Structure 1
């Protein structure tokens, strides 16, 4: 029995080492991203411990069985060596994901999931960016290498007795009892306790504030919980069909009393041009264009990553799933989209993205959503302007874009997604030192793209079609600013959105109305006086509605007028007056129960409507 006890002791030591390494990576995660979190409390530590232990026992369940399996096989020297090496490699792989998220979390605002790691169409992008990550964030790589070496040397070896002891029936009974008990312990720890349902990502909110949930979680847990999950959303039945429609109905009926305006439409989606970069010296051209446009001062993204922005802007689909809609099993659903609707009005349609074809699956989504043509890096025919990592520099690709617009049959609808202000923020050597560095790493490349935009508009304003064009500019998501207000659950979604029509002096001014990316599609159709009925989870800029909806890892973020609401686990967990309480410190749930109840009802109806229509493929009439 002594050898069996030694095997148990060895297992516990190895699991404890892994648990300590998880704590170490959490501390690194916090220290390298300290500006993103409010505080690291003991409650946060306890919550993190629970999620760490859950991930560790699931990952190591086969090794636990291998150490505790009754019988003499486990005492074989070769068997123990294989057990040690495989234990080391498997755990090191998962620990590596924690190191990756030390940096990647800055861009996504959430722990990575399986879908983010294995997304089709991202292979070339990932391979191209890895060298840049390793070079720029060498210190993270160095920490990982040190941990890798230390981890191996800390793993003790099994000291096999050359004179095996005689195993009695009592000893075998104890081994089987210990084995069965261990299996039960694995299940209990893996579930996170004795509660009815296993812990989920959203349960991190129980241990800290919304801003700190990434600190409570670990990346292996986020990956494991999405490993076998086939779908992103479930049907909910908060209301009957009649009640649901009376509370919220996504069917928009546009019935203009004026003839259709056959204007060209150009949508420019600006990579990482979050609100934190506007009016701070990095975007002189965009700042000047805002003064000539209809500017949504309270503009919001519907997601945190680029791949969420395109369906939101083009098809008025909010990002209310853990996976991006483009990557989900619903990506082939029939949807309303601007190219589909405008083609019926005689428009030529096209989508441009200067990165390599297949990046972010934009070429596939362009096809699904009905664009006639897609232009990526492969279709670029200008001067050699490859940035060496990502795609064609914005200056050259925007000039290529201007040239192509001249060749399209009028009226046309076209959208372009810029790329140069994407990591690793490469700008042409001839411009290095020309633009202000700003206060964050990205801002020099933001300034370069702003300069490229100025050159684009200087080129196209000479064309006849220019004055008969509606230009819409929107960022895809934020980039992470250096002010406290940039880091709140309001600030991480605030982006510039503006409508610019050179021929309409009435479409000028600043509105404080809450406006989101999914509002762009119905707003364009309304502005052009296009008669249509459609499914849209946004609203027109002419609508009296004043709401915004975001979602991140199990929590819904809802803005209604001056109020911001957190919703998770089927209930409101926070109500704040975000206009007065800009850092969201005062929870008004208990003092304003009427507003809380009303917000709960609307959110449940909105979620039920979205989930039902996505699952049942009823996103069109």
Structure 2
């Protein structure tokens, strides 16, 4: 039995070594993202160990079997050498996935899942981007190499001098009993304990505030929980159909009392233009446009990824899943968004994105959404302007966009998604030192795209369609690494600029302080144009008295109504704040405002139930 006990001891030494490395990774994650976390306590790190143990147990259950199977061959030198190499290789791969989030978390605000790690929707550009990222974040592969070497140096090895032992039926029975016991222990550890359901990503909120979830989690755990899984929403039954319709009904019928305006519509979606970039000297043109537009001071994104912004903005469908709608199992659901509605009103429709064709699966979504045409890098016509990473620089692609629109029959509806203010934030060499560097890495490229936007409008003003066009400008999501504390909260990290500009109607403008989100853009445009339509929208027109915003991150629903912000875990509220008075969300009012909690819980439950039911049943259109 001595050799068998040696095998048990060896396995658990290796297991504990991996657990120790996970703690190193957590502290490195905290170091690289220290500005994102405050008010930490021991509970956060103890919770982290809970999730680490679960991930490590799942990853190593096979190695537990191979270490401890009661048979003589497990003591052979060749077998043990192969087992050591396999254990080291598999665990190192999972450990290094944490390194991705040391920097990537700044962009997404959450731990990476399987689809993020595998770059779903970015297959064409991943080669060039990988080289760029390795160059910019050179210290991450260097740290990874150092850790890999240290891991190999200290990983315990089975003793090479193994005295032979007699094997009796009693010994085999004892070994088998220990084997079953330890394998059972690993299974329990992997599921996170004896609770009714296995440990889930959302359970991270039990170990600290909502904003600490990413620190509690580890990337291997999030990958394991999403690997090979398509998004499958759970049908909710909080209310019967009558109650549901009374609380929240996504069917909107527009019945204008005058003729439609028949104006062109141009939506510009600016990459990473978080609200924190405005009015600090980086965006002089956009700042000036704000004064001539209807500007929503409390504008919010409905997601943290570029791929979330298109369905939200163009089809009024929020991102309330762990996958974007575009890459989920519901990606081919029938939708009736702006392209189809405006097409039904004799508009020509086109979508422009200067990146590689197929990037973010936007071309696929354009077909589902009903656009007449899609223009990507392949369709670009103009001077050489490839940035070496993503696609065509914003200045040249915007000029191409403007020129192309002048060939379209009117009225037309177009949308452009910019690319230059995306990591690695490359701008043309001729503009080196022309724009202010700002306080963060992104802000020079933000200034460049603002300049490109100015040049676009200078060209557009000369076109015959300009004064009969409604321009809508929004961001896809916020920037990474904001400097102001108020933009680091679960409110601030979704704040974006949203404005409506009509050069032919100078009286249309002013500041609007209602809560406004990307999914409100579609019904607002249709209402402004006085288009008769009946649609499914999870937003509301800008004239509405409703004042809600809903978005989703880290398995938590984030719901704003009026002055209040609620975090909801799918079953119950876990936080309530008056975000107008408490910008940094430091005072949880959950236990002192029962009436508000009850009212807000009622709405968010109905909202989730309606969204899930319609998504599952493919009922995003009116029959």
Sort the TM-score into its range (normalised by shorter chain): over 0.9
C-alpha displacement of 1:162: 5.2
Map 1:223-242 to 2 at 5 A. 223-242=223-242
* Alignment partners' CA distance in 1, 2:463 and 2:138: 48
Structure 1 CA distance for aligned equivalents of residues 507 and 550 of structure 2:
29
* Residues 110 and 552 in structure 1, CA contact (< 8 A), matched pair in contact too: yes
* 231-240 or 105-114, larger mean C-alpha shift: 231-240
SS in 2 for 1:65: helix
Task: Give the match for residue 398 of structure 2.
Answer: 398
Which position in structure 1 is the counterpart of 2:489? Answer: 488
Partner of 2:503: 502
Counterpart mapping for 1:318-467 below 5 A: 318-467=318-467
> What is the distance in 2 between the residues matched to 1:479 and 1:120?
21
SS in 2 for 1:548: strand
Following TM superposition, by how much is the alpha carbon of 1:169 offset from its aligned partner in structure 2, in angstroms? 2.0
Structure 1 residue 483 displacement after superposition? 0.7
Contact 1:295 1:510 (C-alpha < 8 Å) held by counterparts: yes
Q: In the aligned structure 1, how far is the partner of 2:393 from the partner of 2:79?
A: 54
Contact 1:75 1:160 in 2 (8 A): no
TM superposition shift of 1:119: 4.7
Superposed, 1:93-132 pairs within 5 Å as: 93-132=93-132
Separation (CA, whole Å) in 2 of partners of 1:264 and 1:230: 38
2:270 aligns with 270
Structure 2 counterparts to residues 245-284 of structure 1, below 5 A: 245-284=245-284
SS of match in other structure, 1:407: coil
Say whether 1:60 aligns with 2:66. Answer: no
Tell me the residue number matched to 2:133: 133
Residue 610 of structure 1 corresponds to: 611
Indicate yes or no: 2:562 matched with 1:561: yes
- Residue 522 of structure 1 is matched in structure 2 by 523
What is the DSSP-based 3-state SS (H/G/I as helix, E as strand, rest coil) of the residue aligned with 1:374?
A: strand
Q: Which moves more between the two structures, 252-261 or 81-90?
A: 81-90
Q: Give the conservation status (yes or no) of the 8 Å contact 1:548–1:558.
A: yes
Report how many residues are paired: 621
> 1:39, CA displacement in angstroms?
3.6
- 1:169 aligned to 2:166? no
Q: 2 CA distance for matches of 1:40 and 1:562?
A: 27
Aligned partner of residue 557 in structure 1, secondary structure: strand
* Rounded Cα–Cα distance in structure 2 between residues aligned with 1:379 and 1:73: 62
SS at match of 2:269: strand
Q: Shift of residue 195 of structure 1? A: 1.0
Give 1:228 shift.
Answer: 4.5
What residue in structure 2 maps to residue 533 of structure 1?
534
1:120 deviates by 3.8
Contact persistence 1:232–1:323 (CA under 8 A) = no
| CA–CA distance in structure 1, aligned partners of residues 391 and 198 of structure 2 | 43
More displaced, 28-37 or 76-85?
A: 76-85
Change (3 A) 1:593 1:162: closer
Partner SS, residue 471 of structure 2: strand
CA distance, structure 2, for counterparts of residue 32 and residue 464 of structure 1: 51
- Displacement of 1:463: 1.0
Task: List aligned pairs for 1:171-320, cutoff 5 A.
Answer: 171-320=171-320
Task: Check whether the contact 2:552–2:558 (CA below 8 A) recurs between aligned residues.
Answer: yes
Q: How big is the shift at 1:569? A: 4.2
Q: Secondary structure at the match of 1:304?
A: coil
Cα distance in 2, alignment partners of residues 575 and 374 from structure 1: 43
Alpha-carbon distance in structure 2 between the residues aligned to 1:597 and 1:449: 44
Is contact 1:340–1:370 with CA below 8 Å preserved after alignment? yes
Does residue 78 in structure 1 map to residue 78 in structure 2? yes
Contact kept in structure 2, 1:354 and 1:393, CA below 8 Å: yes
Q: Indicate conservation of the 8 Å contact 2:230/2:328, yes or no.
A: no
1:152 paired residue number: 152
State the Cα deviation string for residues 446-465 of structure 1 (Å, max 9, x = none). 00000000000000101110
C-alpha distance in structure 2 between counterparts of 1:77 and 1:200, whole Å:
39
**Matches of residues 4-43 of structure 1 in structure 2 within 5 Å?**
4-43=4-43
Q: Deviations over 1:395-425 (max 9, x none)?
A: 0000111110110111100000000000000
SS in structure 2 at match of 1:296: strand
CA contact (8 A) 1:119 1:327 kept: no
Q: Mean alpha-carbon deviation: is it higher for 147-156 or for 608-617?
A: 147-156
User: SS state of the match for residue 60, structure 1?
Assistant: helix
- Structure 1, unaligned stretches of length 5 or more? none
Inter-partner Cα distance in structure 2 for 1:21 and 1:302: 35
Deviations, residues 232-285 of structure 1 (Å, cap 9, x unaligned): 421111011111111110000100001011000000000000001011100000
Distance 1:222 1:259 in 2: 52
Q: For the Cα contact (< 8 Å) 2:231–2:322, is it kept in 1?
A: no
Distance 1:108 1:232 in 2: 21
Contact 1:232 1:322 in 2 (8 A): no
- What SS does structure 1 have at the residue aligned with 2:332? coil
The whole-number CA distance in structure 1 between the counterparts of 2:32 and 2:246 is 48
The 3-state SS of whatever aligns with 1:225 is helix
CA distance in 2, matches of 1:91, 1:179: 22
In 1, the alpha carbon distance for the partners of 2:321 and 2:597 equals 23
Does the residue aligned with 1:123 lie in a helix, a strand or coil?
coil
- Matched residue SS, 1:565: strand
What is the distance in 2 between the residues matched to 1:186 and 1:241?
Answer: 44
Where structure 2 has 5 or more consecutive residues not aligned to the other structure, the ranges are: none
Q: Deviations over 1:59-103 (max 9, x none)?
A: 111001000111112112221122111111111111111011101
The answer on whether the counterparts of 1:477 and 1:493 sit within 8 Å (CA) in structure 2 is yes
Q: Answer whether contact 1:28 1:102 (CA < 8 A) is retained.
A: yes
Give the Cα–Cα distance (whole angstroms) in 2 for the partners of residues 491 and 265 of structure 1.
Answer: 29
Cα separation, 1, equivalents of 2:233 and 2:37: 28
Q: Which deviates more, 122-131 or 392-401? A: 122-131
Q: Separation in 2 of the partners of 1:127 and 1:133?
A: 10
Aligned to 2:589: 588
